[in-house]
């Protein structure tokens, strides 16, 4: 039994491709979920094989990174999940 939705989603056995939309900075990050905090209070996410786009225009990759660490207030980001098939 999970304490909150954060724990439910991130503690599942599924492997996820994640899109993080940083609304405030107009950036979009997508990559494989590598690690995460165990509670929503910490709100930490580590992505690997990351592509970074301008959120308002996702047609062109701004740059690629091997890994990106996030810790942002939940009001400033949207997290989208795609299950690995």
**Is residue 54 scored above 90 in pLDDT?**
yes
| Tens-place pLDDT, residues 8-40 | 777 777 778 999 999 999 999 999 999 888 766
Q: How far apart are the first and last CA of the chain?
A: 25
Residues pairing with 56 in the sheet: none
The reported pTM is: 0.81
CB-based contact 33:16 (threshold 8 Å): yes
CA distance 48 to 46: 7
**Is residue 1 scored above 90 in pLDDT?**
no
């Amino acid at each position: 039994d999970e304490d909150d939705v954060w724990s439910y989603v991130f503690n599942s056995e599924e492997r996820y491709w994640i899109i993080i939309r940083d609304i405030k900075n107009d950036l979009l990050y997508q990559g494989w979920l590598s690690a995460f905090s165990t509670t929503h209070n910490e709100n930490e996410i580590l992505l690997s094989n990351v592509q970074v786009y301008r959120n308002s225009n996702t047609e062109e990759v701004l740059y690629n990174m091997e890994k990106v660490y996030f810790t942002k207030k939940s009001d400033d980001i949207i997290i989208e999940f795609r299950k690995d098939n």
